Amino acid sequence: MMSSTSGKRSTRSPAWRFAVGCWVVSIVSSGANAAAESPGKLTETVELGRVLVEQTATHPLTRQYVGAALNCTSCHLENGTHPTAASFLDVATAYPAWAGREGRVITLEDRVLNCFMRSCNGIRPPQGSPPVVAMVAYITSLSEGRPIRMNAASPHGPRRVPPLGLDPATGDAAVGEKLYTQRCGDCHAADGNGTADGPPVWGPRSFNSGAGLSHVEHLAAWLKLAMPLDAADLTEREALDIAAYVNSHPRPDFVIEDHLPPAEEMGVYNGKR
């Protein structure tokens, strides 16, 4: 055999060539086996992500990172498949995206990690950890086949909740209190601490002041599309007044240092080699 570089005859023995051949066959075989397993592993990971979105506060993989009595599906209705209420549908197409709050471009995983700290009033899970990878895989699966449109303006997908056409400052908490009693109290309790049928909407077990819904305008816009559950029929004015009432109550303060893990737990290497 002639070397392609020196023109000298190779001194490689037949045994050496046989060993290399076996090594190549082994690598190809291993790759083929991995490829055969990968669709099933990905499907399992996506399904795990769906379960974690539904059971965020109680599942063994995520409960240690959650400080509120809330699951992702508490806000992202129907595990994010509701077409309008903070929908996950098509949202992965917007990432990476510019995030003004963070002052940088963020990934979808960053966005999920932020929700643990703010909407779940918890601790940021390690980046690249199994539960976070699973949740991002599930959310991404709901954008499969859709064109990428990275958002240079904000970290929102094409189905973002649109703002109301009312000035948030005009929300009337006194009127909202009456509406809350009539329309919301049965599920969320008169004291806002929630029931078996609805999560807490203020107080120590609710989202903290760093969450988007802690702003009256964002909560009102979401209420308009989402509540009452399965029969969303609030007018814009009713939604705004209820939001003003709900957010007139105390909730946990957001101090970012309280929601970050130790530096050595900020991220993990999730490969096997």
What secondary structure does DSSP assign to 64-90, as a single string?
GG--SS--HHHHSTGGGTSSSSS--TT
Residue 39 pLDDT grade (very low, low, confident, very high; cuts 50, 70, 90): confident
| Confidence (pTM) | 0.84
Residue 28 pLDDT grade (very low, low, confident, very high; cuts 50, 70, 90): very low
Supply the pLDDT for residue 49. Answer: 98
Q: Is 255:247 a contact under the CB 8 Å cutoff?
A: no
Distance CA 227, CA 238 (A): 11
pLDDT in tens, 61-96: 999 999 999 999 999 999 999 999 999 999 999 999
Supply the pLDDT for residue 189. Answer: 98
Distance CA 46, CA 15 (A): 46
Pick one of 3.30.70.1560, 1.10.3720.10, 3.40.50.261, 1.10.760.10 as the CATH number of 52-160. 1.10.760.10
Residue 7 pLDDT grade (very low, low, confident, very high; cuts 50, 70, 90): very low
Mean pLDDT across the chain, nearest whole number? 89
Q: Which amino acid is at 54?
A: E
Supply the pLDDT for residue 269. Answer: 74
- Percentage of the residues of the chain whose pLDDT score is greater than 70: 85
pLDDT in tens, 238-249: 999 999 999 999
Q: Answer whether residue 106 shows pLDDT above 90.
A: yes
DSSP code of 9? B
The helix/strand/coil state of 156 is: coil
Residue 123 pLDDT grade (very low, low, confident, very high; cuts 50, 70, 90): very high
Supply the pLDDT for residue 217. Answer: 98
Fold identical between 52-160 and 168-246? yes
pLDDT in tens, 145-171: 999 999 999 999 999 999 999 999 999
Supply the pLDDT for residue 20. Answer: 43
Q: Domain ranges in the chain?
A: 52-160, 168-246
Supply the pLDDT for residue 185. Answer: 97
Supply the pLDDT for residue 250. Answer: 98
Distance CA 233, CA 165 (A): 16
Q: Which fold has domain 168-246?
A: Cytochrome Bc1 Complex; Chain D, domain 2 (1.10.760)
Q: Answer whether residue 108 shows pLDDT above 80.
A: yes
Residue 268 pLDDT grade (very low, low, confident, very high; cuts 50, 70, 90): confident
Supply the pLDDT for residue 86. Answer: 97
Q: Answer whether residue 29 shows pLDDT above 80.
A: no
The helix/strand/coil state of 210 is: coil
Supply the pLDDT for residue 13. Answer: 53
Question: 271 or 237, which is more confident?
Answer: 237
